[in-house]
Every structure is written in C-alpha cells, then in structure tokens.
A and B are shown apart, each in its own frame.
Chain A
Amino acid sequence: MALFGRRFWQRNAEGEKRSDMSSATQESVLAALGTVQDPELHKDIVTLGMVKDLAVAGGKVSLTVELTTPACPLKDQIKADVERALAPLGVTELALEFGAQVRGSKAGAGTTDLLPSVKNIVLVASGKGGVGKSTVAANLAVALQRHGASVGLLDADIYGPSVPILMGVNEEPGKVEVDDGYKLAPPVAHGVPVMSIGFFLERDQAVIWRGPMLGKALQQLMSDVHWGELDYLVVDMPPGTGDVQITFSQQLKCSGAVLVATPQDVALADVVRAKSMFDKVHIPIVGMVENMSYFVCDGCGKQHEIFSRGGAQRAADSFGVPFLGEIPMVSAIREWGDKGVPILAQEPDSPTGKAFLEAAARLAGQLSVASEAAEGAPGLKIVTT
C-alpha cells in the first residue's frame, strides 16, 4: 500500500494537473509524512511513531504529531515540513495538532534505578562554586515546566544547599502514604516539586558531612522521596567532583549532565576535570550553559560584552558536546533569586527569561536524542552458563 501512495506522490510531483477529487488517502498521506524528518532525531516522524490519530476524508486531513518533549524547539519547522509534504496530495484542509510524550533517556549498563517513575534525570554540574549552577538549575526546571512538562527539582549540593531559598520554599517536606509505608512529599514551588538535602541537615552542618552520614542522607534523598510521575528531574549537584557524583552515578540511572560555566573559567582545569569525571562514569554531557555571558546594563538596558564571552561555546565545541545557550549577567537574577523567585517565573518575556526557555528547549531536544540512542543501545546481558 505504501507503493500506492508513492505513485500518487510522484504523479503529482511530476506536475500533472490535480484532479478535483483529492488524491489523499490514508496511505498516500502516511507515505508523504514518511518524508518528514524530525530535525533532531534524524529519522522520519512515521518511523519514530510520532504520527497519531491520522484521519483522511476527502481533502481533509487531521493528525497529531506526538513530540518527544513538550519543550520541542522545532514545532514550527515540523509543521512547515508537514504542510510541504502534503501539498502535492491536494489536501484542502489540514488540522495539525501537537502532543507530547516524553521518552525516557536512561541509558547504560546499570540496573539500579531508584527512581523508575522519573523518565529523565539531569545532573546540573560545574567545575567550581559560584558560577550560577543553582540559579541555572532552578530556572531550567521552571522553564521545562512552563514548556508543559512535569518536572522536579532536587538539591544535592551538600556544601551549599540553596535551592529552597531560590525557589522560595519555607515549609518542610510533608509525608505521604505509599504501598509500603511513608515517603516524603516534596513541597511545590512555582509549579515544581522541590527536595533539598538541606532539609536533612542543620545549618552549617554540611561541610562536616562525610562517609556513612553523607551516604545515609543521599540514600534518603534518592529513595525516600515521592516524586510521582516526572518527565524530568533536574538535580543541582555539588560543584566539582566528589562523593555525591560517584554515589549518584552508581545508584541512579542518569540521562546526562549539564555543565555550567562562566566565560572566565571554562578554560580552567576544573571544568575539564568535571567533564572527565562524567566521562569516566559514562554519564553523557547533554549540554553546556554559559552563565554571566554578557552584561545587561541596569541603566541603559544595553548589552555589554564581557571579555572572553563565547568561551563555553568554544569549550563545548572542543569537548564535542552540545551548547545550550548564554545567560546574561543581570542584577534582577540575583535580586529575584534572593526573594525566592526564579527570574523566569517573574519575567518570562525578558531576554533573560527567553534565554532560559530556549536553553531548556535545547536541553529537552538533546534528551530526546539521548532517548533515541538509549533505545538502540544493546544493553548489558549477564549470564551464567
């Protein structure tokens, strides 16, 4: 039947006059849609199973394209490509809707998965502290949520858990009854459930956390929290490389890591060290973000260049990892952050808000790519013979 569709397609492509009756059939439409590529996954949308609810009646076609993330940055392109592909079939009315079914991207050999109801776990990391890692993590989480995904935010920075402050969370986690007892219910802020290792420690206790105590707290953080079904869990990691990274790499099935750097420090050894640590534990870097990339002046509103802007882009290129975007340096980020409001929630239409929304969309796109790769990966078979 696919051939049948192709024949119509060719005849029309050859410039034959269109008949009054539309040539569109279920088959010819499917065949035409089979020429539309998902720009990120580099496969056609029929093969990828993204075409849903296709109905063809006369010249009227309706369908839903089920994207791999609601934060898909390429909706417009896909829509245009679908229209172009269907044009030769004499379609008079096209009702195209978008849906989204986020796919999981937990790749790799590991079998331990403490969070099976979470589809994608993203570790936000940096070479050192103070680069805006927590700010980026919080805003990316809210941005993914604004794009329509269900998102959680986990603060695992034992040295300076700041997510509750950034998100304006004042309450302690509640308790929720589950099958075999109780779990912790994360408080919700700006539409995002938030859990922090800070809830488990007294103030200023973090620095002395080592060994078994830390292990126990991390274990609680990983397995005792009731997240429910999540498309994305964004994790604010401690800066640098250390026990938390190792524990997470062993206990969670992580989709990938996002490296945050400022233009000044990308060339420094600690960013390279952070990158090679993730390489070592086979967690892919799904993107780099340059924070405080350029300066937006309070007074004149103009952009001012910062020496070495673009450093993260160059580092991403040299690492061979995707670049997700540049976040400007604006005092509103700190001011709103101090008040418990991620800038994106306050000013979604500002250049900064848009920068976060775009970075989140690119991140979601990269995770879709990773899920496609995970599906094709052979996996590890362990047998005794």
Chain B
Amino acid sequence: MAVPVEINHVKAQGIIRITWDDGYSCEYTKEYLRGYCPCALCQGHTAAVEKRFVEVPNVELDVIEPVGNYAIGFRWSDGHVTGIYTFDYLRSLCPRGECEKS
C-alpha cells in the first residue's frame, strides 16, 4: 500500500500533484478531485462499483488536511468537506491509470 510523501497544490495551474513513497506521482485537476468525492452524498450509499462524477465547475481547493494515518480531507470552495479520500482511493483515481498497475 503506497503512502503519499508530498501533496503539492499548484494553484496557478489548478492541479494537485501527489508524490508517493514508491516514487510514483499522480496529477489531478481540482475539478476532477472534487468530482470524484467519495462521500455518501456524492456517491450515494451503494457500494461503489462505478465511480460517480459530480460536476462543480471552477471549484477551488481551499484546504488540504491529513485524516488519521490513512486519508486526506479537502475543503472545497462550494463548502463541501465530507469526503475522506483514502490513500488507496486517491491512488486508484490517478488519471494516468498507470499507478494502479503497480
């Protein structure tokens, strides 16, 4: 199980870059991360077979906070805070898809 060592919010480009302890790095746009919020409000209460995308155009990322030893919480400009993104989930979200293979 990979663990992030650095999370870089590159504001000017609107991207979040996560570097993992196995050397991989993943880049997500803020809209993409907000869209795939894992919380029950966004994903519904069914087991997530298919990830649902919630469109929030021009959303801003305000705060990044670790949750325990296993997840990250994001505070979004639309007031949404309920998503707890586990490391595994973040890794599986990597848009390049390559990370998942490792």
Contact = CB atoms under 8 A, between A and B. Distances in A.
Interface residues of B, number: 22
Given A110-B66, A111-B66, A380 B5 contact: yes
A281 B70 CA distance: 5
Contacts of A111: 65-66
A107 B87 CA distance: 15
B67 A381 contact: no
A21 interface: no
B11 A281 contact: no
A382 B68 contact: no
- Chain A interface residue number, banded: 20 to 34
Contact of A250 (B5, B11, B67, B87): B67
Interface in A94-116: 107-112
B3 interface: yes
Interface of B is mostly: strand
Nearest to A281: B70
In this complex, the member of B3, B4, B69, B88 whose beta carbon has the largest number of chain A beta carbons within 10 angstroms is B69
Nearest to A383: B8
Contact of B5 (A107, A254, A379): A379
Contact of A385 (B1, B10, B68): B10
Nearest to B19: A381
Interface of A: 107-112, 249-251, 253-254, 279-283, 378-385
Interface of B: 1, 3-11, 21, 64-71, 86-88
Given A110-B68, A250-B67, A282-B68, 10 more contacts: A112-B66, A281-B70, A282-B1, A283-B69, A380-B4, A381-B7, A382-B6, A382-B7, A384-B9, A385-B8
